[in-house]
Amino acid sequence: MLADDRIQEIAQEVAAAPGVRAVVLGGSRARGTHHPGSDLDLGLYYDAAHLDVAALAAIAGRITGSEVEVAGPGGWGPWVDGGAWLRVDGMAVDLILRDVRRVAAQRDRAVAGRFAFHQQMGHPLGFLDVAYAGEAATCVPLVDPDLLVPELRRGLDPYPPALRSAMIENLWSAEFLAAGAAKGAAKDDVAYVQMGCAAALMLAAHAWHAAAGSWATNEKGLVPSVAALDTGPGGIGRGLRDAGRARGGIGPVEFSAQAVAALAAIGPDRLAPAAEQVLALVSRTREALSAAGGAPG
């Protein structure tokens, strides 16, 4: 694992590339949920008109001691954007590009309660556009001479109430997907049922996170992580837990355990009961979060 001073040194070096305005620590390390094998994610906030990709590649090469290919803006797709995969002192270090103007635009959408999922390689559900806002809200600034990060965070702390409401209201689409999967079970359409159930439960997990005021920026571990919303300083609070369990008979721990079990049970010989279980789980989640008002406390 890289020491903090080495991470800061790397951040200072990549920040010297023309067009890079700030370098932040992101991912599990920023959230404090990393383990010894976790990658190191460094977000590079850049001005599109001034970013020098060749200069950034040269700097990355000096850091690793070998040639590095940097994918410029859009090189990794319209939403993951671009960056580079480095190996530094035996550790995986990911440089992730983020266009300042696009991040600011998604911050404004998040505050207004607007969001969408976009097709993107590596994101089965789709890339959540306001994840850009979530990244800004949860990152740890390492190099930020212009105080850009505080500006990108404007309106994001606490979690925007309009976005919380919108995520909970979007549970109708999760119910629609689950109902479609249940119908598909009658035709023994295994792939369709599995896809519909997984998507429905991921949307429900997004709603749980929003209700908790917790930024979900990636599908990885999204459903199991709902259980952690029940405890700790970032927990959703007794009021929401109790209201949800009273009206929907479910809380975050129950949702997470039942969702994982339902997904694991989907197979050729259990399509119908598993799909019905998912539909019931999503419906109970919608009832619980709507009844609770989606307000942590």
* Helix, strand or coil, per DSSP, at residue 269: coil
Bridging pattern class, strands 40-46 and 91-99 = parallel
- pLDDT for residue 233 is more than 70: no
In the chain, what percentage of residues exceed pLDDT 70? Answer: 91
pLDDT given for residue 295 in this prediction: 47
Q: Is the pTM of this model over 0.75?
A: yes
Q: Is 3 strand, coil or helix?
A: coil
- Given the DSSP bridges, would you call strands 117-120 and 91-99 parallel, antiparallel or unpaired? unpaired
Say how far apart CA 52 and CA 96 lie, in whole Å.
Answer: 14
How many CB atoms sit inside 10 A of residue 125's CB?
18
DSSP single-letter state for residue 123? E
Q: Is the per-residue pLDDT at 61 higher than 80? A: yes
- Model pLDDT, residue 297: 44
Containing 223, the helix (H) or strand (E) segment is none
Main-chain dihedrals φ then ψ at residue 215, nearest 5 degrees: -75, 120
Angle between helices 161-169 and 100-112 (to 10 degrees): 70
Residue 44 β-bridge partners: 23, 97
Q: Where residue 27 falls among pLDDT bands split at 50, 70, 90?
A: confident
